[in-house]
Amino acid sequence: MSYRVKAPAKINLSLRITGKRADGYHELVTRMQKIDLFDLLELELTDTGSVEFFSDSREIPGNDSNLAVRAARRFFECCREGSAYGLRIRLTKIIPVGAGLGGGSSDAAAVLKALSRMLGDPLANQELLDIGRELGADVPFLISDHVAVIATGIGDRLKETESLDRYHYVLVNPGFKVNTTWVYENYRLTKEDNNFNLWGSRNSEFGSFSAADLHNDLEQVTGAHYPVIGQIKKRLLQEGASGTLMSGSGPTVFGLFEDGKMAGDALARLKYQYGEEEFRIISAKALDGV
């Protein structure tokens, strides 16, 4: 039995750090949005009892550092119906790696959801979310059917909100990877961070959001180390973006455009300026939702 599935990228429209827990994880408030940029996965159940992984990208390892592999193994551990099976995963990698777009987390979420369907939904949705939480803070959102959420805790407590689908998105990935752990370790939590009024309370109730609300606390870390992030933001604004932001821990930067033609023209000029040997310039739309 084989199954094909698409794993969407996510962007963070806002991300604020509110504290640090005793276990080292950071508490945060973040508004996340799924977009129509997808990795493609083909899954095939086998009788080998092992998880095999193949990808068209040499950047993706097939060992336990791969979240999709870990997701499959964890599913089989938790699911009696899956104990007799193995899994073969074939990944066509389209979402840039280490880009702040949740590609690895989305691949893991897609594997969990697909395995559940292939085996007749033996695990409750909450059990899938719990497995996802073990794998990474973004995974529960990417497992969920929500296309846009305000997430709290470590990013795993989700409240559905409106999809910001009235904008056209232009993403610029500068072609290098950023280690998320390094970014969080170098973020300095200040008293001001601890005491701000909970961002998103208005948004979580009414779903209102505009380009003026874009904010990411982690830009101060990644942007300081990689000045190109600030340069890309400035360039997107020059092209007419209503607002720009680095997604997650970076380094991908996106611009919000209210006009489709303006977004298309910006895409063409940015591709001409930066080329595409190192940079990835991507047009996207938010997935439809609430």
Residue whose tokens read 């904008």: 167
Residue 205 confidence (pLDDT) above 50: no
* Among the ranges given (4-13, 161-170, 186-195, 261-270), the one the predictor scored with the smallest mean pLDDT: 186-195
Check residue 147 and give its pLDDT.
97
Range with lowest mean pLDDT among 81-85, 99-103, 224-228, 279-283: 81-85
Residue 190 one-letter amino acid: T
CATH 3.30.230.10 for domain 2-160, yes or no, is yes
Inform me whether the pLDDT recorded for 198 exceeds 50.
no
Global pTM reads: 0.92
* Average predicted confidence (pLDDT) for the chain: 91
Residues 122-174 have pLDDT tens digits of 999 999 999 999 999 999 999 999 999 999 998 889 999 999 999 999 999 99
For position 203, what pLDDT does the model report?
A: 43
> 26: how many CB neighbours lie within 10 A of its CB?
19
The Cβ of residue 10 has, within 10 Å, a number of other Cβ atoms equal to 27
Owner of token pair 């094909």: 4
**Which range is least confidently modeled, 84-88, 90-94, 97-101?**
84-88
Please state, for a pLDDT cut of 70, what percent of the chain lies above it.
92
Q: Active-site positions?
A: 10, 138
Dihedral sign for Cα atoms in the order 154, 188, 193, 98: negative
Cα–Cα distance measured from residue 39 to residue 126, given in angstroms and rounded to the nearest whole number: 24
What mean pLDDT do residues 179-193 have? 82
- Are the CB atoms for 52 and 86 separated by under 8 Å? yes
State the pLDDT at residue 101: 98
Q: Which amino acid is at 18?
A: T
The first and second tokens of residue 21, run together, are 């827990």
The pLDDT value given to residue 80: 77
Omega before residue 140 within 30° of 0, cis: no
Q: Which pLDDT does position 208 carry in this prediction?
A: 78
Q: Do 71 and 111 contact (CB within 8 A), yes or no?
A: yes
Average pLDDT over every residue of 8-35: 94
Domain ranges of the chain: 2-160, 168-285
Nearest residue to 174 via CA among 236, 116, 242, 111 = 236
Q: What is the pLDDT of residue 204?
A: 39
42 has a pLDDT exceeding 80: yes
pLDDT in tens, 230-243: 999 999 999 999 99
Does residue 95 register a pLDDT over 60? yes
For the beta sheet containing 243-246, the strands, ordered from the edge strand earlier in sequence to the opposite edge, are 243-246, 253-257, 168-173, 280-285
**Residue with token string 């005793």:** 22
pLDDT at 202: 44
Helix (H) / strand (E) containing 246: strand 243-246
Tokens of 197: 């009024």
Is pLDDT of 62 > 90? no
Mean pLDDT, range 102-126, rounded to an integer: 95
Distances (CA, A) of 165 to 150, 186, 244: 16, 33, 16
- pLDDT band per the 50, 70, 90 thresholds, residue 224: very high
pLDDT of residue 192: 56
Q: What is the mean pLDDT of residues 55-62?
A: 90
Answer yes or no: is pLDDT of 68 > 70: yes
**168-285 architecture in CATH?**
2-Layer Sandwich (3.30)
Res 119: pLDDT: 93
CA-CA distance, 28 to 200, in Å (whole number)? 11
